Structure 1
Amino acid sequence: MSLTIRPRVDTDLPALGRALVEQQSQSGYPHRDPLPMAPEDFVARAGALATWTAELDGVPVGHVATLPVLDPAVSREPELARLWAAGHGLPAERLGEVGVYFTATHVRGQGVGAALMRAALDDLENRDLAPCLDVVPTGGAAGLYRRTGWLEVGTTRPSWLHDDSPDVIAMVLPRS
């Protein structure tokens, strides 16, 4: 097994789109089914600060992005920004979001997700941005984040959330 974490390139998008769709039934991410856009367009989110692909033996199997909290191109929900800012005790300009984060089901438990998260957290640290994320509590992701040090700072109902879905959890990772 040869795992590489590298900047995402456009030629990764078809394989990443397939991985996103494949893992959705188990993870519940993204929480929109069907997606209102092509999976490749969901992965290639506008306004990202940086994006990475996890490549296992030459095949893209996971993705993560860092996103600015206040950039209008990213169009984040203002309540999430407020919760994250309060949770970190920082202005929203000093925050960075970990998002578009997933791995193919067949590579779970092999350290792929942890390696992607490390790349995102290193990027945010290099940019002097405090880490934030949001999660819909329908799979095991919220528990995994809690076990790895992320703190819940509130819940909200973003405009994209379906009526029958639970509130989104806003989380922050305290900086050491």
Structure 2
Amino acid sequence: MSVTIRPRRDEDLPALAAALVRVHAQDGYPVEGVADPEGWLRHDRELQSWTAVEDGLPIGQVALIRAVPEDDAARAWREHSHGDIDRLAIPARLFVDPGHRGTGAGQLLMEAVFGFARARGLAIAFDVMLKDQAAIRLYERLGAVRIADLTHHYGDGLNEPAAVYVAAS
């Protein structure tokens, strides 16, 4: 079977939500939990989102969102590059169903993000929890460079060590 990437459709949401629940159970991602998985899949600053599909089944997704000054990744990127945040996009909501890992879906999803952003002249920065070592390996394999370490604050006083990466130009 081969994985294909396409823009996410509303009809993908139930299968992606179920996959996200499995991801959270296995990996603790997202750290904020999955009380409303379909709601979490959408982002109010979304520029575009993509679905990885294998044998007709949605198995993963990623979204690309507009950066705002309050984003951890945007702050680190601005300190590092002195760039204009209006020209920055942030990949978010990336995951692949645990039963479909090793198919190349994560790489294909990130390549879709990188291609979309480059075609529009957007820089890319994003944060990742240090516990998510498979994601870090993927990002580094794709040429992303770590520019900062930080602490992600969430929930009721909870913290998670994280890093900020930028995509290679």
The normalised TM-score by structure 2 is 0.89
Q: Which residue is equivalent to 1:73? A: none
What are the within-5 Å matches in structure 2 for residues 46-65 of structure 1?
Answer: 46-65=44-63
Q: How many Å apart are 1:43 and its aligned residue? A: 0.4
Q: Which residue is equivalent to 1:174? A: 168
Asked if structure 1 preserves the Cα contact closer than 8 Å seen for 2:3 and 2:103, the reply is: no
CA distance in 1, matches of 2:127, 2:70: 11
Asked if structure 1 preserves the Cα contact closer than 8 Å seen for 2:76 and 2:164, the reply is: yes
**CA 1:24–1:79 in structure 2 vs 1: closer, same or farther (change >3 Å)?**
closer
Asked if structure 2 preserves the Cα contact closer than 8 Å seen for 1:88 and 1:130, the reply is: no
**CA 1:88–1:161 in structure 2 vs 1: closer, same or farther (change >3 Å)?**
farther
CA distance in 1, matches of 2:132, 2:153: 20
CA distance in 1, matches of 2:55, 2:125: 30
Q: Which residue is equivalent to 2:12? A: 12
Task: Return the letter of the residue paired with 2:54.
Answer: L
Task: Return the letter of the residue paired with 1:31.
Answer: V
Asked if structure 2 preserves the Cα contact closer than 8 Å seen for 1:87 and 1:172, the reply is: no
Name structure 1 gaps, 5 residues minimum.
71-75
CA distance in 2, matches of 1:3, 1:147: 19
Q: Which residue is equivalent to 2:43? A: 45
CA distance in 1, matches of 2:16, 2:81: 32
Name structure 2 gaps, 5 residues minimum.
none
Asked if structure 1 preserves the Cα contact closer than 8 Å seen for 2:23 and 2:96, the reply is: yes
Q: Which residue is equivalent to 1:28? A: 28
1:124 paired to 2:117: yes
Secondary structure of the residue that 2:61 maps to in structure 1?
A: strand
What are the within-5 Å matches in structure 2 for residues 77-92 of structure 1?
Answer: 77-92=70-85
Deviations 1:55-104, CA, capped at 9 Å, x for gaps: 1111100101111102xxxxx73443120123334121111101111100
1:67 paired to 2:65: yes
Asked if structure 1 preserves the Cα contact closer than 8 Å seen for 2:43 and 2:65, the reply is: no
Asked if structure 2 preserves the Cα contact closer than 8 Å seen for 1:13 and 1:40, the reply is: yes
The normalised TM-score by structure 1 is 0.85
Q: How many Å apart are 1:132 and its aligned residue? A: 1.0
**CA 1:38–1:171 in structure 2 vs 1: closer, same or farther (change >3 Å)?**
same
Task: Return the letter of the residue paired with 1:58.
Answer: G
Q: Which residue is equivalent to 2:97? A: 104
Deviations 1:10-41, CA, capped at 9 Å, x for gaps: 111010001111112333321123x3x41010
Identity within the alignment, %: 34
After superposition, the CA RMSD in angstroms is 1.9
CA distance in 1, matches of 2:87, 2:155: 26
